[in-house]
Chains A and B, each alone.
Chain A
Amino acid sequence: MKKLILPRRTLLRGLGGLAVGLPVLECMLNGNGDAYAQSGSLPKRYAIVFAGQAIGGDDWEENKYMVAGTRTTETGHFIADTAAGAGYPVTTPLKPLDALGLMGDFSMVSNLKIPWNSSSVEGADVPDAGAFRDFHGGGASPLLCGTRSTSASFKAASITSDQIVAKLNKTTLDSLVVRAQPSWYLSGSEFAGRQYISYGDGGKAIEAQINPGIVYHSLFDSFTPEGDGEQAAHDFELRARQSVLSLITDKRERILAKVGAADKLRLQEHFEQIRALELRIAAMPPSGGSQCQKPAAPTDNLPVGSDNAGSGSDTIGTNTGYSDEDARARVLADLIHMAFVCDLTRVATLQLTVFQSHMNVFEISTDFGMPIRADLHECGHNGDATTRGQLPVSMCLGWHIGHYAYLMDKLKKTPEGAGTVLDNSVVIFMPEAGHGVQLNDATSNFATHSVDRMVLLVGGRAGGLSPGRHIVAPANTHPGKVLLSAMQAAGSTDDTFGQVTGKLPDLFA
């Protein structure tokens, strides 16, 4: 029987006339299964998993630590303390990747550096793509968007890499921006911008969705269920939902006409977001390639932890400052995976913990056998009274990387064409800090407040990426070059990223 070949551009027309692509059906592929039958390659996904923590202990050399009062000198715990090239010894934070057989599926790029001005603290004197002399805020913009920061604010000055890639595609959701840590955990202060890693044009912060149930509904409500009765109910609910929203958008003009200029701007934004929701609802769901399945709804009873009583030592408490981020992260990774598989979106950012995160690490550290009485931020600075330095920090980093590995693994285990979804993806792991000279005082070494000796992990094989190596970047390589390379792997033709130019050829074959 002749195999049915669907042209790549076969689209479904949704109720609102919105066209949405099908997920990759086998009948669209060429004989080798590695490209669409009628030209063009398979969709490329781009994801960033972010960790709001240091990669070493403040003032601690990388081979030194203390656990339960005992000091030890031992190598192999700092993430990049290993040989360059392929087949390098697995360091402590990378063990979750090793456990899932993923060492060949990502490259580690170390020795990255964001430039900064050691002789001036003025905003005007920050070099291009550089960091304002105040960590944590100063490090955010250059890392996320390649444009320099000129103040201590966490705000990215221009569009982030994920949003650049999002513009390349037309999918039901432009991107999925989600966060595991739901609360700030420190009374008397606020997120104040630390909760953003995705920014649109001009540096407009994109609010993450923290409620996994809402992410689930956003992605999968449009899926048509199996049985007749269920389909009827689904159809009824869909029509009802659309009617409910259209009553609101129908009065947009009337409302905007009666208010002044300032209110027009404010309310327009709100109406536009409702309109965007309407359009997403109107998009027909994928008809379900073999791998695209509506998952079970996540539990909606995840707790939100209360504020910590301090940041470290014995007073922090053991049952505050934690909202089961471990479970949240896993659910969110599941949703990102299926969103990619169903081609509901091709771009996702998962902020596990916020910049300067005060998430209490007692529970996760107890789980990994090294109870630490501190929040994540304090863990990087002083740990707790008896446990501090490289190993505890690396174990916490390993917890984050465990979630990165989980996502990578799911993508790798999902066949697509002749390979897997991971073969058509770029998945980046991005910690907030390096471990070098301190950005603030320009003097202390082995500092957590550092944008020197930064590390990024680049997973997947999209666009010619050739993973499996530890790449020690040449001196003064900006992390933005890694992200620019990653964006190019995902299909971007940009040759600049903010104020960064150039890529890292070693990432490619």
Chain B
Amino acid sequence: MHALLGLGCSARRLLAFAGACSLTALLTACAGGGGTTSHPGGSAGSAATTGGAGNSGGGHVGPGNLSTASASVARRLSRTELTNLLRDALGDDSGAAAKFLAEDQYRPFDNDYTVQEASGALIESLEAMADDVADRALSAANRGKVVPCAPTGAGDAACLRSTIESLGLKLYRRPLSEEQINAYLTLQSFATEANADVPHDFYTAVNLVLRSMLQDPEVLYRIETGRPTGEPGILRLDSYEVASRLSFLLWGSGPDAALLDQAKAGALLDGPSRSAQASRLLADAHARAQIERFHSMWLGYRAIPASAELAAAFSAETNKLIDTIVFDEPSSYLELFTSTRTYVTDALAAHYDLEAPARGQGWVSYPDSKRAGILSHGSVLAAFSKFSDTSPTQRGIFVQTRLLCNKVAPPPANVNVDQPPSAPDKVCKLDRYDAHRTLESCKACHAQLDPIGYGLENYDIAGRYRTHDDAHEECVLPDKGELPGFGEFSGPGELGRLLVDGGKLEECFVQQLMSYAIGRELRSEEIATRDALLASFEGDAYDLQQLLKTYVSDERFALRQEEVVP
């Protein structure tokens, strides 16, 4: 299905739109030139993938083989991860990171390390953030949370040491070396110096310690070194490094005290102990928030063009479905795409024209197969729009790239994608999109995209069902589309069913999950790992919690490979 290669497409324009796949064959080719019609499709501007060039020496594949440990680098914490770390380590939920730092790029995840750069603007923003957080942390009302002892005076070195050790453990995610502690202790001079003009005390020193920690690369980056194994370039992580991998994957934050205790005891170096900790972490609310966030990035609805009120309602609906399937009533993860019920309030039920729930909010059943699962939610249906309305092409790109991990080539250069398709004699929207079906330079790509969107076109930008174009009653919408290579469908529910039955969705999901865990697109040498993980997923009846435990239990979760510098 997805191997239409080479039809005259310029190799230089192979760019990934979105999604985390750098591996499956180019979906289709776009011939250059031609086309004077305006062009509605194409992304508004996803960045080209840089993708790694690293290639570990081929060799064997399969789980447990050292040489397939993933290459990794020092990954800077994303803005959300930093926010979570500040909240969990310091009790600071002021959102300081969001206030001072620029937003990460979403590709579609916020933790793609291949686009992280340390700019002057970043360093200045971090200094401002550190100042702000430290002032709040050491305010009279809050300092008890941060300083574990009662200082006897400005020069109480023992209490400063305890404070440094305690803060350092939480922020660095490992105990500080003696050298590091002594370096921070020198800041005590600011507490004790003779200076009648400037108010200063013990807490002044702590403030400066915290400011320094919050600007330190060892805190801001997840620096993994590891120790040599027998294999060249393959390193074995220590317990603290593994603890961080666990907590950042499952919570999007630093390890909690219990996990740090495990690390201190030298545990986490075997699969079963990692699995046990994963169970504990998954049972916590942090994990729910993390899984919910993962989905909002993967499926593109983390920011949708809807009023704040409606966006919140959609968010609640979608998070409830995710939570139920993954945590509360664990069942096959694939039910996320086929669930025949959704959790709504009266208002949301009315919005969708569904039966009202009992008692103001609750589960209601969809009336037919056209709606089912997460693809029917307003959250997903609102994403990938264009020109204030749904875009069949954008929705097609969403399905191909995010759910099937196929690449889609960009439109030919000289086509103006800033204008909706125009054909003055054609009133009906899909008639205008027909240009994609007829023009030589358009049809090869669009044949893979638009038919998907046609099957969803009856669901508007707010997820409501409609029978015709918004402004034209005579333009009846088809209520039928095609997922090329899989079959015809009517509505997001039937699309979900085709995807689940088609055997590619779960493979792509595993790939996206790995991509998020590793912090970049997967590489060809990681495919075997993906496939083995997929087999486990299937063997465990698609239990997502179990998948995550399987992933972290794998020997390679505690290994890393040096990234090759091109």
Residues of A whose CB lies within 8 Å of any CB of B are 58, 121-123, 132-135, 138, 151-153, 177, 182-183, 186-194, 205-211, 213-214, 217-218, 228-229, 232-233, 236, 239-240, 243-245, 247-248, 250-251, 255, 258-263, 265-267, 269-274, 276-277, 306-313, 315-317, 356, 377, 381-382, 438-443, 449
Contacts and interface: CB of A to CB of B under 8 A. Distances in A.
21 contacts: A134-B413, A152-B410, A190-B45, A207-B121, A214-B121, A232-B197, A251-B180, A255-B223, A258-B225, A259-B74, A262-B562, A262-B565, A263-B563, A267-B223, A270-B217, A274-B215, A307-B304, A309-B461, A310-B389, A438-B416, A440-B414
Given A214-B128, A309-B307, A247 B212 contact: yes
Interface string B13-31: 1000000000000000000
B218 interface: yes
A190 B45 CA distance: 6
Given A121-B412, A209-B125, A309-B305, A240 B32 contact: no
Interface stretch (B99-107, B359-367, B478-486): B99-107
Nearest to A136: B418
Nearest to A217: B128
Contacts of B116: 266
Contacts of A449: 416, 418
Contact of B305 (A232, A272, A308): A308
Contacts, number: 226
B74 A311 contact: no
Given A133-B413, A440-B413, 11 more contacts: A122-B12, A133-B414, A186-B44, A191-B105, A211-B128, A260-B562, A263-B73, A263-B223, A266-B74, A271-B217, A307-B303
Nearest to A137: B45
Nearest to B462: A309
Contact of B127 (A153, A277, A377, A381): A277
A56 B380 CA distance: 36
A274 B32 CA distance: 46
Nearest to B190: A240
Contact of B217 (A236, A255, A356): A255
Contacts of B303: 187-188, 306-307
Nearest to B410: A152
A382 B198 CA distance: 60
Interface stretch (B181-189, B246-254, B287-295): B181-189
Provide the main secondary structure of the chain B interface.
Answer: loop
Contacts of B244: none
Residue among B13, B103, B198 with max Cβ neighbours from chain A (10 Å): B198
Nearest to B107: A190
10 smallest A-B Cβ distances: which pairs? A310-B388, A207-B119, A232-B197, A309-B305, A262-B563, A189-B44, A270-B118, A187-B303, A134-B413, A207-B121
Contact of B117 (A182, A261, A269, A442): A269
B105 A190 contact: yes
A236 B565 contact: no
A302 B313 CA distance: 27
Residue among A244, A251, A258, A449 with max Cβ neighbours from chain B (10 Å): A244
Contacts of B74: 259, 263, 266-267
B324 interface: no
A442 B33 CA distance: 11
A440 B412 CA distance: 9
Contacts of B32: 121-122
A210 B124 CA distance: 11
Contacts of A229: 197
Contacts of A132: 413
B208 interface: yes
B537 interface: no
Interface in B293-325: 300, 302-308
A349 to B, nearest CB: 13
Contacts of A217: 124, 128
A196 B418 CA distance: 21
Contacts of B184: 247
A58 B419 CA distance: 10
Nearest to A266: B74
A248 B212 contact: yes
A408 B231 CA distance: 64
B439 interface: no
B328 interface: no
Residue among B33, B35, B73, B124 with max Cβ neighbours from chain A (10 Å): B124
Contacts of B412: 121
Given A261-B562, A310-B387, A443-B36, A273 B45 contact: no
Given A192-B46, A211-B128, A312-B387, A206 B304 contact: no
